[in-house]
Amino acid sequence: IKKSLLGNPIYEVVFTREIDGWNPPQIEGVILLDKNLKSIQFEISNPQKLNPILIKKISESFPILSFQEKHRRLEDAYLEAIKHQIS
């Protein structure tokens, strides 16, 4: 139920140094959502299958400090649903 309300999980990768000018690998099922100087956020359709691939490809370019799912609450899904009904 949670996935149907919130969509695919979002993961954040934090790096040990700045990644300015670098573009992450393109992998089917992985959508880049946000990129900062030391972190990236992805929406990942099948984490069990795609996370190891993504971690391997990213770590070939930059050292990873952390890779973790961003926890979202059902309340966030409710607020998103309300926003979509209003617009």
* pLDDT for residue 1: 58
- pLDDT, one tens digit per residue, over 1-60 is 566 667 899 999 999 999 988 889 999 999 999 999 999 999 999 999 999 999 999 999
Q: Is 86 helix (H, G, I), strand (E, B) or coil?
A: helix
Give the whole-angstrom CA distance, residue 69 versus residue 9: 7
HSE (side-chain half, CA atoms, 13 Å) at 67: 16
Measured from the Cβ of residue 32, the count of other Cβ atoms closer than 10 Å reads: 14
Give the whole-angstrom CA distance, residue 6 versus residue 43: 11
pTM: 0.80
pLDDT confidence of 70, banded at 50, 70, 90? very high
